[in-house]
């Protein structure tokens, strides 16, 4: 597994996080990894103001994964009414497939389980992302069958290239 050091993000990290999340999901740079959404969405992947709010909010952490000081991964973990929420997960495309993502997920699960004593973790994934969902299933997550509509018309979530996008809730007992 990747040898990462973890720390909580601060306001000073916002620009670097936005760059990482964008590289992991949008445009040509994202195609170096397997998590790209470039065929599904254009535009921004993360709004800096939403990110600042996630960093500042109680029972919410934006966790950074660093290797020799270089930002390689990030994720948002929060206590949402007694259940963990995992999101804004990104791994530098050139580091994907080396255990970096697995290590980041494990750290966020540890925070939710050990620090906040939460019984389960949930996330939402675009349900067309079968390979990504299969990866989460290998980590113990299960599809719940609960879907949420994609926020068409809100550019903070990207500019859709298709009209059939929706989110599915995945869940794992901690």
For each of the domains in the chain, give its residue range(s) and CATH number, in order of start: 5-173 (3.40.630.30)
Ranking 3-7, 32-36, 90-94, 137-141 by mean pLDDT, the lowest is 32-36
Express as a percent the part of the chain with pLDDT over 90.
67
In which band, very low, low, confident or very high, does the pLDDT at 37 lie, cut at 50, 70 and 90? low
DSSP state of 37: -
pLDDT exceeds cutoff 60 at 19: yes
> Which of 100, 126, 7, 20 lies closest to 55 in space, CA to CA?
7
Pull the structure tokens for residue 141. 């997550």
- DSSP codes joined into one string, 43-67: S-SS-HHHHHHHHHSTTEEEEEEEE
Determine the longest span between alpha carbons in the chain, in angstroms: 42
**What is the rounded CA–CA span in Å between residue 45 and residue 26?**
7
pLDDT exceeds cutoff 90 at 36: no
In which band, very low, low, confident or very high, does the pLDDT at 27 lie, cut at 50, 70 and 90? low
To the nearest whole number, what is the mean pLDDT of the chain?
89
pTM of the model: 0.90
Spatial contact of 105 and 123, defined as CB atoms under 8 Å apart = no
């Amino acid at each position: 597994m990747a040898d990462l050091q973890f720390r909580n993000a601060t306001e000073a990290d916002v620009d670097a996080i936005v760059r990482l999340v964008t590289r992991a999901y949008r445009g040509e740079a994202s195609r170096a990894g397997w998590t790209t959404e470039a065929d599904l969405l254009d535009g921004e992947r993360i709004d800096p103001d939403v990110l600042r709010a996630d960093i500042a909010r109680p029972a919410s952490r934006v966790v950074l994964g660093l290797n020799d000081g270089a930002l390689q991964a990030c994720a948002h973990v929060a206590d949402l009414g007694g259940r963990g929420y995992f999101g804004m997960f990104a791994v530098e495309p050139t580091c994907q497939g080396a255990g970096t993502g697995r290590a980041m997920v494990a750290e966020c699960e540890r925070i939710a389980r050990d620090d906040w004593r939460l019984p389960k973790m949930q996330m939402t994934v675009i349900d067309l992302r079968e390979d990504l969902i299969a990866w989460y299933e290998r980590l113990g997550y299960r599809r719940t069958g609960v879907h949420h509509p994609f926020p068409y018309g809100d550019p903070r979530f990207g500019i859709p290239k298709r009209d059939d996008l929706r989110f599915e809730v995945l869940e794992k007992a901690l």
